[in-house]
Chain A
């Protein structure tokens, strides 16, 4: 708690400082990007443009990739694989994570498997999935599910374990049912770790998907990256990688980050108090329902 306060005061201090001089940092950052591009250009000129393409060549290739090289087809193939795999992994991880966080037996049974699964790299799963399933679109999905699920389970498991036990006990005292506890305490409390896990999972799963596509799928961004690597076209590799990273960043900052702040807004308000109020209201409602039921002859 004190840590949080400290961070918030530091944050507001930083905000004030930022407010005082907005122009200077922006200018500095633009200069930094300019300097970096200039260094890249000089390095390319010095080493040889046939080995390192200059930034403008990569930029031109990027435009060409987006306009003329079946960008939409490959991109949708990869994004679809990533999304399916991520949804499946999140489903597995949420069920498993909540079970592990609330039940000692489930925790003991799965903790070794989850921690062991984290050790296996995405690369291994990508290779194995391609070898076992063959060159079909399912291989990347299987690889991602196997590689990402342990990590997400770990997140949600820890989120569930960090539940507010006091609120749980209070809910029991006020006779809030199992479903009410799940809905008002467990779900809001682990929502951040689910969305945080989705963020983490997205970052990992697009890399594993591209890897699996690279080893033997005939469509998707990974296939294009591999094709360009085989014909020794570095500008093609860079252009495809940049385009895909941009789309993924767009999904992360445009979709998942707003979702995260939306779902965690209750934390920013006086958290425990508001949850307690909601619980009390719920308990009152439950009692009312119970009492009316008792009165009304069935």
Chain B
């Protein structure tokens, strides 16, 4: 193993490794997908009239995309998620750095970060709808309250773990406070900021959908609520599945790719076994 790896670059070895593994796995994976669909179809046969079959759900999805306000609903919800996450990340970077670099700030705020993490988005969604009212700000406030503790935690821990050596060197060479922040701390925090954003996003879109479900008049959550009230299970499935797929694409396809790019300079540690 080691002799073959040494002659090539680690990345190439990992890629060929992956290819070799996938060549055999693709049939098993296809079989797995087919069995899931089959299980779903059999369930729909067992509960006729309650559980829709995969085909019915797909037809319903097609209908939603063609004739119902699919694009505009998704756009509205994504806009709310985006606004909430933008505020969250901005605040979390400032608070996280302050907590990581200053002991007093840390002691002052750590209790709230830890408590805030345990309060579910459901509660914040209800509170936001009740306090802010049924308008566009409610989901944004709910996202901010739910996601901020989680994102702060990531950045706080990374800022705390940042090595002293570089800081000491910068001090010796009389780099100012702003220079240290800009050239040492911020670049080293970028991976944890991206990771925090990814984690926060998972919470954020569910909270937005929940807030919409509790009474807003637009967005994916509103559509899910309409279908839920009409007892249209295929509609609920189609809306949730399609929106979950869109969010998964954003999380893994877009942010995951950014993440991989950011850690490219690091030595490959996965290649140990």
Where the two chains meet, the residues of A that have a C-beta atom closer than 8 Å to any C-beta of B are 25, 28-29, 31-33, 36, 47, 51-52, 105, 108-113, 116, 119-124, 127-128, 131-132, 165, 203, 206-207, 210-211, 214-215, 225, 229, 232, 234, 237-238, 241, 245, 248-249
SS class, residues of chain A in contact with chain B:
helix
Of chain B, the residue at the smallest CB distance from A237 is B126
Which of B58-66, B77-85, B231-239, B260-268 contacts its partner?
Answer: B231-239
Q: Name the residue among A51, A113, A121, A132 with the largest chain B CB count within 10 angstroms.
A: A121
Set A31, A112, A123: member contacting B29, Cβ < 8 A? A112
**Contact sample, A vs B, 6 pairs, CB 8 Å cutoff:** A47-B131, A113-B32, A123-B210, A128-B240, A234-B130, A237-B127
Bound together, the chains give a CA A29 to CA B240 distance in angstroms of 42
B interface residues, tally (CB under 8 Å)? 45
CA distance A207 to B108 in the complex (A): 28
Q: Which residues of A contact B233 (CB under 8 A)?
A: 128, 131-132
Q: Is the CB of A109 within 8 A of B244?
A: no
Contacts of A111 in B (CB 8 A): 29
Does B122 make an interface contact (CB < 8 A)? yes
B12 at the interface (CB under 8 A from A): no
Contact call B112/A214, Cβ cutoff below 8 A: no
In Å, the complex CA distance between A285 and B55 comes to 59
Please, which residues of chain B bring their CB within 8 A of the CB of A123? 206, 209-210, 240
- Chain B residue nearest to A27 (CB atoms) is B107
Max count, chain A CB within 10 A of own CB: residue among B109, B122, B237: B122
B244 touches A124 (CB 8 A): yes
Question: Min CB distance, A178 to chain B, in Å?
Answer: 22
Measured in the bound complex, the distance between the Cα atoms of B122 and A215 in whole Å is 12
List 20 additional contacts besides A119-B245, A203-B118, A232-B130; criterion CB under 8 Å: A29-B107, A47-B131, A52-B131, A108-B32, A109-B28, A109-B32, A112-B33, A113-B32, A119-B244, A120-B244, A123-B206, A124-B236, A124-B244, A127-B236, A128-B233, A128-B236, A131-B228, A132-B50, A132-B233, A248-B118
